[in-house]
Amino acid sequence: MPIYLPPISRRAFLRRAALAAAGLAAAPTLFAADAKVDANFWALFSDPHIAADRATVHSQVNMADHLEGVVKEVAAMPVRPAGIFVNGDCAFNNGQMDDYATLTGLLEPLRQTPIHLTLGNHDNRDHFWKALKTETAARRPVADKQTLIVSAPAVNWFVLDSLDQTLSTPGLLGKPQLVWLGRALDANTDKPALVMLHHNPGFTEAVPGLKDTAALLEVMRPRKHVKAYFFGHTHFWDVTQDESGIHFINLPPTAYVFREGKPSGWVRATLRTGGMKLELRCLDISHPQHGEVKDLKWRA
């Protein structure tokens, strides 16, 4: 299963806040006191690239500061999300264990909500598991892969592991994971299926993405309850739709962008009957795309 940070009780959360006030722990930021969980609201993060040293800067961006800004915005909302996804490249470069310690510390203010983390090409699977010790011996439906179904009232999320080799840019799911996905989709046809993985579709050599894209699409396209494919990796916000009607959602990075002027931030996803609304939340609120909304209609 993907690394999962289970929610903690409000009592435990307040206890941590009290320890922080006494100087014994890092201070968490509480959700608004009257915040209720919205079962249709999901917070989508991608590509945080967190280093062990919070002062690390890359491409003129302090990645820890960026993630902290996103976390503070979500924590300050009057409603809490049903869940949070951090879609790969959690670590800065090659997935050191201390990178993940810093990452989980930055996510601490959101620990009243389940957080699911996936793997990208800058992560190291063994270090990832060891850093979150409760996951080291976790049962996984596909051996040596971070694979999971996250079930919600309105949809099922199918979370996949596209890490092939650390620091090797392209991704790979592999046959065992694709077989599992097909069987899992066939066993869960009662709700729309949303597929989440780190790597972008590998349609062109110019954008190294998922090497077995064709095989993944062969699984998804004929199963009409599959509605969307969410990915990161390219550090580029974009929403398109393929000829079968599946939506392709390229999540923005919380860290740095590859193309000057493009937005960094996160996406507020709100499920509705027959589709989903995606709102881009930019770290730079003066960015012209801040608040941009994509209203998706599911294929029939």
pLDDT per residue as tens digits for the range 246-256 = 999 999 999 99
Q: Which of 50-54, 85-89, 143-147, 268-272 has the lowest mean pLDDT?
A: 143-147
Q: What CA–CA distance (Å, rounded) separates 90 from 251?
A: 14
**pTM greater than 0.85 (yes/no):** yes
Indicate the average pLDDT of the chain: 90
**Dihedral pair phi/psi, residue 64, rounded to 5°:** -65, -40
Confidence (pLDDT) at 89: 97
pLDDT per residue as tens digits for the range 119-175 = 999 999 999 988 877 555 567 789 889 898 999 999 999 999 999 999 999 999 999
Q: What CA–CA distance (Å, rounded) separates 243 from 275?
A: 17
Neighbours of 209 (CB within 10 A): 20
Confidence (pLDDT) at 34: 61
**For residue 21, pLDDT beyond 80:** no
The count of domains in the chain is 1
Question: For residue 282, what is the domain's CATH number?
Answer: 3.60.21.10
Contacts of 134 (CB under 8 A, 6+ apart): none
Domain, as residue range, for 273: 3-297
**For residue 104, pLDDT beyond 50:** yes
In one-letter notation, the amino acid at residue 291 is G
Q: Which helix (H) or strand (E) holds 236?
A: none
Crossing angle of the two packed helices 175-186 and 213-220, in degrees rounded to 10: 10
Tokens of 111: 């620990």
**For residue 26, pLDDT beyond 90:** no
Confidence (pLDDT) at 31: 55
Confidence (pLDDT) at 137: 57
pLDDT per residue as tens digits for the range 69-101 = 999 999 999 999 999 999 999 999 999 999 999
**For residue 1, pLDDT beyond 90:** no
